[in-house]
Amino acid sequence: MAYAIIRTGGKQYRVAEGDLISVEKLDMPEGESATISDIVFYSNGDEVKADATALQGASVVADVVRHRKDKKITAYKYKRRKGYHRTVGHRRQLTDLKITSISL
């Protein structure tokens, strides 16, 4: 089973063909195909490539399934005996990708 480790949105993801992953929001419409060429590692059984020169032309093709928001994260700041408290919320913007192919 071939798999690759890709880098997008400042994070790394281990992907194989047919996987569905959630990454930081990409500026692409739903249904379009995204090509990710920042590959860190590739493995296909006994064949392992982790060198930047060996992975120079490699790419992962994925279809944009949908854009969505993640669950809300609530941060509560508090200082005792000072009367200070503050609630801050945040929701990450995500894009769901379905991996269609990994090519070297």
Residue range 63-92: average pLDDT? 96
Structure confidence at residue 99 as a pLDDT band (50, 70, 90):
very high
Residues 6+ apart with CB under 8 A from 35: 59, 60, 61, 62
Structural domain for 76, as ranges: 2-103
Domain count across the chain: 1
Provide the pLDDT for residue 1.
Answer: 82
SS (H, E, C) 5-43: EEEECCEEEEEECCCEEEEECCCCCCCCEEEECCEEEEE
Per-residue pLDDT tens digits for 40-76: 999 998 889 998 888 998 999 999 999 999 999 999 9
For residue 104, is pLDDT > 90?
Answer: no
pTM: predicted TM-score of the whole model, two decimal places: 0.84
**Number of neighbouring beta carbons within 10 Å of residue 14:** 13
